[in-house]
Amino acid sequence: MACVHYKFASKLNFAIATFDGRHISLGDLKKQIMRREKLKAAKCDLQITNAQTEEEYTDDNALISKNVSVIVRRIPIGAVKSTSKADAIGRTEPVMGTSMVTDDSSASLFLAQLTKTANLAEANASEEDKIKAMMSQSGHAYGPVN
């Protein structure tokens, strides 16, 4: 019997998933882990990452060879599986239909509109702009008007 050692990111010890042959498909490994851990497939999906190379397995037909150690994370169904920083940084669209920031006057207008946004976490702006807006919002209560 061949096996794959797996552990959830929040746990300390590895568990073992056994199978016949030299490889197991990612889909079969996910099913076996969900069955062993008593997880419901309707509520979450599993993100499987190689523990040594930190390679994320995304294709359910991908073959995982025997005696490999993997890290398992539960993710909500429909969540973005990509964990690359380029996806998070690559958002450059303006908020609330404003035009792209090109000079200082439009930057201050953009920042003024961004400071009026209630939820900056979901705002479609760069992290730097969000931080500037947050600093402006937190200092507004102590301004000379108040």
**15 and 70 together in one domain:** yes
Query: How many domains does the structure of the chain reveal?
Result: 2
Instruction: Give the residue numbers spanning the domain of 16.
Output: 2-76
The verdict on residue 94 lying in a domain is: no
Residue 29 pLDDT: 92
The verdict on residue 83 lying in a domain is: no
The verdict on residue 129 lying in a domain is: yes
The verdict on residue 97 lying in a domain is: no
pTM of the model: 0.52
DSSP 40-83: -TTTEEEEEEETTT-PEE--TT-EEETT-EEEEEEEETT-----
Residue-wise pLDDT for 99-112, tens only, equals 444 455 566 666 67
Query: Going by C-beta distance under 8 Å and a sequence separation of 6 or more, which residues neighbour residue 80?
Result: 87
CA 102, CA 107: separation in Å to the nearest integer?
A: 7
Q: What is the mean pLDDT of residues 7-18?
A: 91
Orientation of helix 104-115 relative to helix 127-140, angle to 10° = 60
**66 and 114 together in one domain:** no
CA 128, CA 131: separation in Å to the nearest integer?
A: 5
CA 28, CA 54: separation in Å to the nearest integer?
A: 20
The verdict on residue 112 lying in a domain is: yes
β-pair partners for 23: 65
**70 and 112 together in one domain:** no
- Confidence check: pLDDT of 2 > 80: yes
CATH number of the domain encompassing residue 16: 3.10.20.90
**72 and 10 together in one domain:** yes
The verdict on residue 64 lying in a domain is: yes
Picking from 33, 54, 76, the residue at the C-terminal end of a domain is 76
Q: CB of 6 within 8 A of CB of 33?
A: yes
Query: Going by C-beta distance under 8 Å and a sequence separation of 6 or more, which residues neighbour residue 45?
Result: 30, 74, 75, 76, 77, 79
Q: Which residue has the higher pLDDT, 31 or 108?
A: 31
Range of lowest pLDDT (2-6, 41-45, 120-124): 120-124
The verdict on residue 113 lying in a domain is: yes
The verdict on residue 88 lying in a domain is: no
Residue 135 pLDDT: 79
**119 and 70 together in one domain:** no
